Amino acid sequence: MRKRYLFLCTALFIATFAQAAEKYDTKAFRIITKLCTPCHGTPFYMAKQIDDDDWHYFFDTPGKLEHIHKGKPKALASLKNGLFKQKKKRLLKFLVNNSKFSGSVHGCDANFCGTHH
């Protein structure tokens, strides 16, 4: 009986803790805000414009992002930024997790409050 009680407590604790954990990658959020938001709107707004397959396509096709942004020096500078290069996979994951049919809708928090862009 005691063992079962302990198990229940642990399970509850983990469930509560998992709930309290961040619901999205705030680091990726901040990098996208810095590098892409001036043209694409807030990271959540940006992510919602296309679906997960499209995000994979644009990120995983070599030279694709550069090609789309040809003639846009600011965008090309963002793509060359060390932060972008280092965290590209993480940014892709964020965009996929929040993409068109992901069903994720974000409320107000310290980083984000509504779809202003």
Residues lying near ligand HEC in the complex (CB under 6 A) are found at: 35-36, 38-40, 49-50, 58, 65, 68-69, 72, 74-75, 78-79, 84
Rama region for 35: left / alpha / beta (φ>0; ψ in -120 to 50; rest) = alpha
Q: How far is residue 32's CA from residue 29's CA, in Å, rounded to a whole number?
A: 5
Does residue 84 contact residue 78 with C-beta atoms inside 8 Å?
yes
The minimum distance between CB 35 and ligand HEC, in angstroms, equals: 4
Q: Between 38 and 114, whose beta carbon lies closer to ligand HEC?
A: 38
Q: Between 72 and 89, whose beta carbon lies closer to ligand HEC?
A: 72
Q: Between 83 and 106, whose beta carbon lies closer to ligand HEC?
A: 83
